Structure formats: structure tokens, C-alpha cells
Amino acid sequence: MLKTEKIEDNRYLTTIEGTDRLNASIAAVVKDELAEQLVKSGYNLTLCLQNIRFIDSTGIGVLISALKTARENKGAFVLQNVNKDVYSLLTLMKLDKVFDFKMD
């Protein structure tokens, strides 16, 4: 489900593949894989959401959990290439002030 590659000395890029949704049906798998990738990356991880067109509250919970884990371990969790509809939802929920974003 997640594909991860090293992009810098201390930074890894993870992409969700095989779906355009981050919702309750895949949230548990993504959460577990993200937790594993956070540990492997030294808690410095960028999550590319370019394939994700829909996210529900469970999916948002997965992102918040990853962010919390990274910050508790003095790392960084960044969202990259967020779809405009997903970004609008995050903005509506005021999460645009919580997450760091990287747009290419």
C-alpha cells in the first residue's frame, strides 16, 4: 500500500499506492505502515498525497497520529502534493495550521 524512497540524507518520501481514497476501509493498514516507515526514517517522513482524491475522518486521524508520533520523537511529518479538494477539507478543519505542506 505504501511505497517509500530515500530523498535526502535524513528524509524519506512515502506515497500511498493502489487507491485514490484514504478512508476507514484502509486506514488501519496505512496507519500501521506509516508507523513502521516513521521508525525506519528516523521520524522524518514526507507523505505524498497526489493520488488521494478523498479522505474521511478516519483517514485524517491516521495523518494526525503520524504527525503526533513524528513530533514526539523530534522528527517531522510533511504532507506533499495534496489534492485541492483534500486541502480544502484540511483547511476547513483548520488542519492547514497544524500540518506542514510541500507543494511541487
Q: What CATH number has the domain bearing residue 60?
A: 3.30.750.24
- For the residues 37-54, what does the mean pLDDT come to? 96
Give the pLDDT band (50/70/90) at residue 29: very high
Tell me the β-bridge partners of 13: 5, 46
The number of distinct structural domains making up the chain is 1
> Among candidates 60, 73, 72, which has minimal Cα distance to 99?
60
Q: How many percent of the chain have pLDDT more than 90?
A: 93
- What is the residue range of 36's domain? 2-102
Is a pLDDT exceeding 80 seen at residue 96?
yes
Locate all alpha helices (DSSP H) within 1-104, ordered by sequence.
24-40, 57-72, 84-92
